[in-house]
Amino acid sequence: MAYRVDLSPDASREIDRFLEGLRMYSFQTAEKYQFALQEMIDTYLVRTPTFFQRHPKPDGPYYRLLFQISPRTTYWVEYRVFEQERVVRVVRFRQNE
């Protein structure tokens, strides 16, 4: 059974900022990576969000999934899984330092 994916306001802003930066470079590039991000969400977060290893944090366990644009540009998708509600809550979309 599939999970519903919910973006936090912070994650939504971070994704919008990421895509806007790409649009400044090239609309086609932004569209390409927006599609790739959506495909990753549909493939992993909707179907198998607990497949990845938990990442401990003080306010509860999180999962992290790496979204790679190029070998030097990667972003972490940090999320929590609520099994009872079948909801995946994306809390952050941040560049890997």
Three-state DSSP state, 31: helix
Residue 71 dihedral angles phi and psi, to the nearest 5°: -55, -25
Distance, CA of 56 to CA of 85 (rounded, Å): 21
Domain extents in the chain: 4-95
> What is the structure's pLDDT at 70?
77
d(C-alpha 6, C-alpha 26), whole Å: 28
Q: Domain 4-95, what architecture?
A: 2-Layer Sandwich (3.30)
What's the whole-model pTM score?
0.86
**Structure confidence at residue 25 (pLDDT):** 87
Per-residue pLDDT of the chain (97 residues; tens, 9 = 90+): 799 999 999 999 999 999 999 899 899 989 999 999 999 999 999 999 988 888 877 776 789 999 988 777 899 999 999 989 999 999 999 988 7
pLDDT attached to residue 17: 94
